[in-house]
Amino acid sequence: MQKAAVATTIGSTAPLTGSEAVFPILIALGFCHLLNDLMQSLIPALYPMLKQHFHLDFSQVGLITLAFQLTASLLQPTVGTYTDRKPQPYSLALGMAATLLGLVLLSIAGSYAAVLFAAALVGTGSAVFHPEASRVARMASGGRYGVAQSLFQVGGNLGGAIGPLLAAFVVLPRGQGAIAWFSLAALLAMMVLARVGMWYAAHLRSKQPTARAASAAAGIPRARVIFFVFLLMLLVFSKNVYTVSLTTYFTFYLIGRFHLSVQDAQVQLFVFMAAIAVGTLVGGPISDRIGRRPMIWISILGALPFTLLLPYANLFWTGVLTIVIGLLMASAFPAILVYAHELMPGRVGLVSGMFFGFAFGLGGLGAAAMGRIADAQGIAFVYQLCSYLPAIGLVVSLLPNLEQGRAQRSA
């Protein structure tokens, strides 16, 4: 009965009325985000199999990542800018179709060139999905923007954590052809997103006023808005470099320092990923209550004492500290994204594309740089160096309090 009610709400073309959040739409977007990032995370998890099957060297493996990142990261701001001007309600389903084609091609690819093209198709689907899905989440928020972004983003966190596990237990034992099974996930996401597109189209026709969003950054000169967005991207960059470095090298750190088995190290990594998912889920609702700027303060700068302690902790406290760090750092992103939306009203697609695309891509480059440092200085030095990254949270002091400014203008 409950599932039927959700399906009815998603399928309805009735426009948004009132100020209540449309939770079936938000849940549908979070679910599709889970499927999208699950399929995304398959590609790196399959590298050992692809390297052996196609006799690749590490440079060629790196080019697969480049093909995926160029489309998944760099295309997002372009897609977002275009859809800000010309909204495309059914582009979500079409983008997922590109992912479906990429997975099918990857399952039957007989050459390295075909693998590169398949990875680029999966990246293209992701580039279309993130900016538009973030826009629809804001539309369906009913003014609870932090809650909406948390529900949307936690799906991606869960999908990114589940994907490598499925690759290990489903694809690797059965071979390349088993990748095609995951195209069913893309097909399911297309069906759900087509229904979401119907709601999106009806909402566009209703032409709901956007005065609330537009008033948040009123009176701030364009140059200062650009500067503030730069500061927000710097915060996301610092957060992502730390978390990506932790997820990439954490198992090696645990094995080298505490002599854990690979399985035990993977369990510790999964606990950290679970903490990130929980932090993402709770960060948005808390930021709706206490404000975006205080939430960013707490999330990023608040993690600094714990990151500074981590390189010197024993095994037990390493596990405790990584949970606290994951919870705090992940809770920042919904608040940062909503803050950026309020700085640039009417540019939801561009802002979402920038933060989901460029900022995450730059975080990946930073993690790659940390890998070079690890080769030269060791993994322990990487964690000592990364422990200072949350200090960049001090730049939050330069950001205006948009909620206070909005309250003063409405008084």
Average pLDDT over residues 183-201: 93
Q: Is the pLDDT of residue 1 over 70?
A: no
Q: Report which residue type is found at 115.
A: V
**All structural domains of the chain:** 2-205 (1.20.1250.20), 222-399 (1.20.1250.20)
325-345 per-position pLDDT tens digit: 999 999 998 999 999 988 988
Residues 252-268, mean pLDDT to the nearest whole number: 83
Residue 371 burial class via C-beta count within 10 angstroms: exposed 0-12, middle 13-18, buried 19 and up = middle
Q: How confident is the model at residue 186 (pLDDT cuts 50, 70, 90)?
A: very high
pLDDT, position 174: 85
Average pLDDT, the chain: 83
Type of residue at 62: G
3-state helix, strand, coil in the chain (%, to 5): 85, 0, 15
Q: Which residue has the higher pLDDT, 348 or 172?
A: 348
Question: Using one digit for the tens of pLDDT, what is the confidence trace for 37-89?
Answer: 888 878 877 877 888 888 887 678 778 877 887 788 778 888 888 888 888 88
Q: Is 292 helix (H, G, I), strand (E, B) or coil?
A: helix
Distance of CA 384 to the CA centre of its chain: 26
For the record, the structure tokens of 404 come out as 């206070």
pLDDT of residue 207: 59
Q: What is the pLDDT of residue 11?
A: 47
Contacts of 281 (CB under 8 A, 6+ apart): 150, 151, 154
Burial of 121 (0-12, 13-18, 19+ CB in 10 A): buried
Question: 87 φ, ψ to 5°?
Answer: -55, 140
142 φ/ψ angles, rounded to the nearest 5 degrees: 60, 30
What pLDDT is recorded for position 209?
Answer: 44
Residue 164 structure tokens: 């490598």
Tracing tokens 């692809």 back to the chain, one arrives at: 50
Contacts for 74 with CB less than 8 Å, ≥ 6 apart:
127, 357, 358, 361
Query: For the whole model, what pTM was predicted?
Result: 0.76
